[in-house]
A and B are shown apart, each in its own frame.
Chain A
Amino acid sequence: MILGLVEHDRGRPNDLSFQMLAFGRRLAAGRGEPLEAVLIGTEAEPIAGALGAHGVSKVHLIRHDELTDYAPEAWAEAIVQLIASTGATVVMAAGSDRGNEVMAHVAARTEMPMASNCVAADPGDPFQVTRQRWGGTLLEEAVLRAPVTLITVAPHAVQADSSPATPTEVAVAPFDPNLSEQEFRVRVTDRVEKPAGQTSLSEARVVVGGGRGVGSAAGFGALEELARLLGGTVGCSRAVTSAGWRTHADQIGQTGVRIAPDLYIAFGISGATQHIVGCKGAKHILVVNTDREAPILARADYAVIGDVGEVIPALNAEIRKATGG
């Protein structure tokens, strides 16, 4: 049986988990094994019904009074006990912050290897994977030697698949793990929420990004305006956060946020590998740059050759004209 951790935050599923299930579905079909899912905490129960469309035949619902908010060690220990109880052969999660974290805890507890951010799997003996290095700039073919295969699936490596040939019924099996206080020593004890209505970079449909070519912190004002006109969110390159023009939370790249919008508009960004890793999930890329030879042009669908300070005001004015605003 192949087991996928469907990650959620206080009951809201993470879309990357559905990509992971699509990966798991193919793997399960190849091995002739069922795909089952695990949901942690009763808050997640409403998600169960929708998982049948993603190829899941059974959902294991982990129940425990203390499982109210995210607690990585408790999540991992519950999964370890579920593995022992069900005999899962492959256990997987999304290659998200939490997915990688929980699977690493599972791996540490079971003293087994784990391959993170896989883009392909060949379930022979030994189990072979292709996984991302350098944020996906490089791939590694590797073998995993372990009684249970533990992997995470690279974000945006496969598309979610919720179109089954025949809709399947999902059985929900409650599972009550034995968890001690020790497993809850790391848990979310408080939250500082983002202001409502602010779309996060990773979820934005349109991202307006700025690099060194924007010239200054004040130069981002015009990018903010463009983002407002397009209903988008502003991001930036590492050069910008290193210069102190924007907070690190806005940084797109290998050590910042990975984005996957319909359109990414990159102003004055040359396109170092570190940045490309963060924006290659975009469906369309429009680049505004003075340098026709900038590396980012090789990744772009459209380009405007010109200075940011000259192009943005003209573009904002043109959009206002088009929308009558």
Chain B
Amino acid sequence: MQLPQKTLAFLLAVLTLGGTSGTVQAMTSSNYAMPQYQSGFFSGSSTSQNYRLNAVSAGVLGNPTSSSYRLNVGFPSVTGGTVTLSLDSGAVNLGKLSPGVPISGQTTATVTTDSATGYSIALQKNQLLSLSDGSQSIVDLSAFVSAPAPWVGPGFGLTMLSGSAIEAKWGSGTNYAAIPTGAYATVHSVPNGISAPDVTVVKYKLDVSSLQVSGQYSTHVSYLVTVLP
């Protein structure tokens, strides 16, 4: 029996693409991960009335179609593989306060991600700055994160002191807003991929009235970094 030349060529091409054994390996680098199951011979799915083919490989890309079939091939794109956030310290002591003389402190947040779409940082606090027994608290600034305003105390708030492409609304660190309690609010977004750890400095500022009950006030500010979709 003679095997048609075209058929033989096709099957040999299959062999070339798929290797000669069942040892399909996962592939990774610092920039990508390709699980073993993605490393087959074809990619995507192809269907007709008689069959459905789910297979994987990068041998052919695109969506070849005809009146009889549509073949989806290639690797599914899964972006934003990693994201990390580190803070320079888990505690910021603003110090002692004389009413009318604001005090401040800051947190340096470092973000790493391989997302091509960038990332955002959101903050929330678990409570108003409060005494440990909860009997007294310090008011927030009236300005919201959506529209920071020049400092008008008393109150507690934050500004974006420095970082990559800090939004103009922060007035280069001169406009302040309250940190929302119990719900994250995005304070800064970097809408593009970064090639190195990205550093953002968040400044907290506090002032109280002369009638503010004495004591040590605290709150827990949590940071959330999210890969932008």
Chains A and B belong together in one complex: no
| B residues with CB within 8 A of A | none
| A residues with CB within 8 A of B | none
